[in-house]
Amino acid sequence: MSLDSPARSWLLDRLTERHAELERALAEEMERPRPDEATVRRIKREKLAVRDRIAAIERGAVPPAWMMDAGAPRSGQATAHGQSA
């Protein structure tokens, strides 16, 4: 099973947004007088995992099934803008 273009685009958008959220969270934590090392490690680990997922999708790898059930529009489904995916 491969991702069709709208689902692929949607998933890449969500992952890119999550990566940016993690970048902001990491910057906030690092600005603290005493950043929590466990929190920094957790954020960095998740950020790396998101980056790896993005890279895999961009090179055409099929994401795990749980990613497909994350609400991505599938062919024939209407998107938030009322267009059919």
- This prediction has a pTM of 0.68
Decide if 76 contacts 15 (C-beta within 8 A).
no
Domain ranges of the chain: 5-58
Reduced to 3 states (helix: H, G, I; strand: E, B; else coil), residue 64 is coil
The answer to whether the Cα torsion of 6, 7, 11, 14 is positive or negative is positive
Separation CA 20–CA 22 (nearest Å)? 5
pLDDT digits (tens, 9 = 90+) for 12-32: 999 999 999 999 999 999 999
Separation CA 77–CA 56 (nearest Å)? 25
pLDDT digits (tens, 9 = 90+) for 39-82: 999 999 999 999 999 999 998 876 666 555 555 555 444 444 44
